[in-house]
Amino acid sequence: MPVNQTLSTYSDMAYATSVVVYIAAMLLYFGEFAYGRAGAGVRKRESALVNAGGGAASTPVIGHVETPQKRPLSERLGGMAVAMTVLGALVHAASLLLRGFATGRVPWGNMYEFGSAICLAAVVAWVIVLFRQLRAERREATPAQLRGLGGFLMLPVILLLFLSGTVLYAKAAPLQPALQSYWIVIHVAAAIVSSGVLLFAGVASVLYLLRCRFENNPLKLAKFGSRLPTSQALDRMAYRATVIIFPVWTFAIVAGAIWAEAAWGRFWGWDPKETCSFIAWVVYAAYLHARATAGWRGVRAAWINIFGLAVMIFNLFFINIVVAGLHSYAGL
């Protein structure tokens, strides 16, 4: 079917808008992260000064109605950051839907769309984790510490969206003949969700290493490390995200092998994309094993998780763009 250029234009506009909203959310997250502890210190000093005034200062005045205390600036920044994140995700999803309606196909038929979908999956995963943690009876970190993680996730998301929208951008067009199969819905969708969640897990592992460095030597990264969740909380976040999504990543590889047999007459041919995806699977399997093995938990396991993310990024950019193979569908 012909491409609807009007919807395609609206899709591009929504994409650019979502990037701007994500940037605003990132700045608000970092604003809360930077101001939170300083603001808390000011409030403690003010409270100490009031209490130092003696009992008379605490005696209620008849007829006086106390005005409700304003939320600290840091909390307001954090709340706005979360709201902007949700808004950005909605606009981002709209850009993908409009691209799909414009082309009459699934909106992940080239590298531009694939990268955009991965970023949306990462943001949605982060929002789910945040709200689950905030509603949990036993939180693993304070609300400010949890929200602070958002800025560090938004940074790679924005970078990937920028690269996708510039270097990897492809005009709306029908699917290549080789991709015209129902397996693109199953195989690629599973790969997108897996990649997005594993991006969040990798960011959590990076922050875990930084927090461990602070806990081992509080003089290093003192202002930064003290505002992160505990190392145990970050480690659990990374592990839970990986252990939940690992079966989906496994399914994506298996579905890809089935599609390969239908398209090329063989399940596995050690194509560069297949090989790199399998290496990533082995690395994440090693991470899950290390996380459950005494002597490998903690820092060693976190490094394996980060290496897995590096393999995924290498697979996304270098293998798809530079290396020639049967999976060369970048659309560049």
Q: What is the pLDDT along the chain (332 residues), one digit of tens a residue?
A: 788 999 999 999 999 999 999 999 999 999 988 886 544 444 444 344 344 444 444 455 555 555 556 777 778 899 999 999 999 999 999 999 999 999 999 999 899 999 999 999 999 999 999 999 888 767 777 888 889 899 999 999 999 999 999 999 999 998 887 778 888 999 999 999 999 999 999 999 999 999 998 888 877 777 788 888 999 999 999 999 999 999 999 999 999 999 888 877 788 878 888 899 999 999 999 999 998 887 788 899 999 999 999 999 998 888 877 765 555 555 55
- Is the same domain home to 276 and 319? yes
Domain boundary among 174, 198, 220: 174
Quote the pLDDT of residue 107.
94
- Is the same domain home to 156 and 183? no
Which residue is listed with tokens 């005696």? 59
Identify which of 266, 302, 262, 269 has the alpha carbon closest to the alpha carbon of residue 283. Answer: 302
- Is the same domain home to 299 and 190? yes
Quote the pLDDT of residue 87.
98
Enumerate residues 6+ apart whose C-beta is below 8 A from 159: none
Quote the pLDDT of residue 56.
44
Q: 229 lies in a domain?
A: yes
Give the C-alpha distances (Å, rounded to integers) separating 129 from 149, 191, 241, 284, 308: 11, 20, 9, 20, 21
Q: 56 lies in a domain?
A: no
Q: What are the structure tokens assigned to 282, written together?
A: 């082995």
Quote the pLDDT of residue 52.
46
Q: 247 lies in a domain?
A: yes
Domain boundary among 115, 145, 174: 174
In angstroms, the CA 106 to CA 180 distance is: 10
- Is the same domain home to 8 and 155? yes
Q: 323 lies in a domain?
A: yes
Measured at the CA of 248, the angle between CA 147 and CA 89, to 5 degrees, comes to 35
Q: What is the pTM of this model?
A: 0.87
Identify which of 158, 153, 172 has the alpha carbon closest to the alpha carbon of residue 116. Answer: 158
- DSSP code of 218? T
Domain boundary among 174, 197, 223: 174
Identify which of 325, 331, 311 has the alpha carbon closest to the alpha carbon of residue 108. Answer: 331
- Is the same domain home to 263 and 225? yes
- Is the same domain home to 28 and 170? yes
Q: 69 lies in a domain?
A: no
Quote the pLDDT of residue 328.
58
In angstroms, the CA 320 to CA 326 distance is: 10
Which structural domain range is residue 28 located in? Answer: 1-37+74-174
Measured at the CA of 50, the angle between CA 49 and CA 53, to 5 degrees, comes to 90
Q: Are 161 and 22 spatial neighbours (Cβ–Cβ below 8 Å)?
A: yes
Give the number of other CB atoms < 10 A from CB of residue 195: 25
- Is the same domain home to 137 and 17? yes
- Is the same domain home to 111 and 216? no
In angstroms, the CA 304 to CA 239 distance is: 12
Question: How many structural domains is the chain composed of?
Answer: 2
Q: 231 lies in a domain?
A: yes
